[in-house]
Structure 1
Amino acid sequence: MTRIGFHASHEQHSPSRLLRDIAHAERIGFDEAMCSDHLAPWLNSQGQSGHAWSWLGAALARTRFPIGVVTAPGQRYHPAITAQALGTLAEMFPERVWAALGSGEALNEHVTGDEWPPKEQRDERLRASADVMRRLLSGEQVDAEGLVRVHRARVWSLPETPPPLLAAGISTATAAEVASWAGGLITVGADAQATAQTRKAYRDAGGRGGLLLQIHISLERSEEDALAAAREQWAQATVPPQLMWELSEPEQFEAHADPTDEKLRAAVVVGSEAEDVADRIAAVAEGFDGVFLHQVGRDQARFLDRCERELLPLLRERL
């Protein structure tokens, strides 16, 4: 049975609001949760960006289900520091926390003042960071040279079982690239053919572990309201893919977005009828072990109430 998770979007909601939302999500029957890890929002209209690692400790203490985070070691975070943060959470909350590692976005990483490297170098840095983290979380003392430099690092407070290190990837090329080191894959999308190709690329390259999907949805009272919410809160999804990781300011995403109805519908499952939305989620999530729902609209409490009444029961039947 496919697990159904709730996505906590730090870019859109205050940390305190997200604590209430995640407790609400667990209470109504979600199996688990995940969150983003940003320094800046994609758009000025989103208006938030709390520190994910500070929030995770509070969220795990307030709930009982697993919570994961998508994060980017290597520039804004040194991988030894990320490993220590993850190890501490896993020691306090055994077998309830995981991290999916990505190569990052200039939006968050440019603040260090370091040059934003090309994609090939970012992928190499991610592999090196993942190796450092895996070794540290296994209890090793680690030295490393190259794109990631480490000097006699050790994480002293560790869980009995190292937490899973997954990879985050959207394209088939990235899915194949990370298969050599990842303990699972999380991808994002609203197109069934595209997500199936990413899933296949990972498995064909020897990728092991679970397959997870994050899907953006806009479930509102009317189709017009759903499109308006997607346009106001998730217009960056219409930015050309080759620019998504290269732009460094919310204003740049706003300038490059093209939030026509057609492009919004390609990136977000937009609708007013829960049954239709459930059908479309099920089609995109076929073959995945877990699916995380991200409601892009502002009113998460109303969405969660509707999940309890309509969407979750429908998804349980379909997944």
Structure 2
Amino acid sequence: MVFLGFHASHEQIPPSRLLDDVVQAESAGFDGAMCSDHLAPWGVRQGESGFALSWLGAALARTDFSIGFVNAPGQRYHPAIVAQAYATLEEMFPGRFWAALGSGEAMNEHVTGDPWPPKHERNERLAESVDVIRRLLRGEAVDHDGHVRVHEARLWTLPDQPPPLYATAVSAETAGWAASWADGLATVLQAPEALRDVVGAYRSADGAGPLILQVHLSWAETDAEAVAIARDQWRNGAMSGASPWDIEQPEHFDALAGEPDDDALRKALLISADLDELAERIAEHARLGFDRVYLHHVSKDQAPFLRVARETLLPRLRELL
């Protein structure tokens, strides 16, 4: 049985309301949740960006299922600081917290004023950060001098078991590289052939643990409404011609996304008023080898989606998967 999770989007929804949403997601029958971790939204109309680590403590306290997040240690976050945060969350909520680690995006990291490194340096920095975090979670005293610097760091509050540290990857190349250190892999919706390459690269490099897929979707009572939601809130998904990891401001994302047509939006995320069609398409992607699927409805109002998820979408997905 594939694990069906709910994605909580800090870029779109104030954290107070998002907290209510995740509680309702558990009531609706989702198996767990994950959230984003941004300093800025992908576009101006999204309009939010709460601090994920503050929200995670509250969300775990208000629910009983697992909740994780995507995090980029190394520039905006020092690895010793996030190691302490991970340890604290896991100590309070044993077995319910996880982090998926990536090399970051300029939109979140540029605020430190440090130069934004090229991809190979970001991967090197991430690998060093992962090593520091794992050593600290084992209770070691850590000194390190490389892309990140750590001086005699030690965690005094530790959980009984460290939380899992997954990797994030969009490309097959990154997935294969991450297999050497990750406890699992998280990726996002792409064309099926691209997802097959990511899954294959991770597993062929002896990557262990769960494979996680985040699915962006837009549902409404009519197709026209579903397209309108996608265009208003997730046009960044249809952006082409620039690397999203190197763009600094929401206004720049908006300018590069422009006014995508319906076909471009439908290539970027799943859009439909037909819940059976949505379930079939989600299941088609999940069958590529994924153990967990987290659904992200790109609307700022989650209540209608959570209602149909409870009544129709989740039961249908469980029949298909």
Shorter-chain TM-score bucket reads over 0.9
CA distance in 2, matches of 1:254, 1:262: 18
Q: What's the CA shift for 1:240? A: 2.5
Match of 1:24 in 2: 24
How well do the aligned residues superpose, as a CA RMSD in angstroms? 0.9
Cα deviation, 1:120-155, whole Å, max 9, x if unaligned, reads 100110111111111111111111111011111111
- State the Cα deviation string for residues 237-283 of structure 1 (Å, max 9, x = none): 12237510000000110111152212211110000000000000000
**Alignment of structure 1 residues 193-204 onto 2, 5 Å:** 193-204=193-204
Aligned residue for 2:246, secondary structure, equals coil
What's the counterpart of residue 269 of structure 1?
270
Structure-2 separation of matches of 1:10 and 1:241: 26
Unaligned runs of 5+ in 1: none
- 5 Å matches for 1:89-108? 89-108=89-108
Amino acid at match of 2:284: A
- Offset at residue 108 of structure 1 (A): 0.4
* Contact 1:192–1:285 under 8 Å retained in 2: no
1:13 matched to which residue of 2?
13
> How far off its partner does 1:196 sit?
1.8
1:1-319 correspondence runs (5 A): 1-240=1-240, 242-258=242-258, 259-286=260-287, 287-319=289-321
Name the aligned partner's letter for residue 267 of structure 1. Answer: A
Contact 1:98–1:165 (8 Å) recurs in 2: yes
- The alignment partner of 1:245 has SS state of helix
Q: CA deviation at 1:222?
A: 1.0
TM-score by length of 2: 0.98
Q: Could you tell me whether the CA contact under 8 Å between 1:190 and 1:267 is conserved in 2?
A: yes
Partners of 2:308 and 2:192 lie apart in 1 by: 24
User: Displacement, 1:223?
Assistant: 1.0
Given the two structures, how large is their TM-score scaled by the length of structure 1? 0.98
CA distance in 1, matches of 2:208, 2:79: 22
How many residues end up aligned between the 2 structures?
A: 319
- Supply the distance in 1 between the matched residues of 2:87 and 2:196 (Cα, whole angstroms): 32
Structure 1, 27-36 or 198-207: larger mean CA deviation: 198-207
| SS of match in other structure, 1:139 | coil
Alpha-carbon distance in structure 1 between the residues aligned to 2:134 and 2:240? 33
Gaps of 5+ in 2: none
Residue 293 of structure 1: how far off its partner (Å)? 0.1
For 2:196 and 2:303, locate their aligned partners in 1 and report how far apart those are by CA, in whole Å. Answer: 31
Measure how far apart 1:210 and its partner are.
0.8
Q: Distance in 2 between matches of 1:149 and 1:190?
A: 36
Q: Matches of 2:263 and 2:141 in 1, distance apart?
A: 52
Identity %: 57
Using the alignment, how far apart are the partners of 1:242 and 1:256 within structure 2? 8
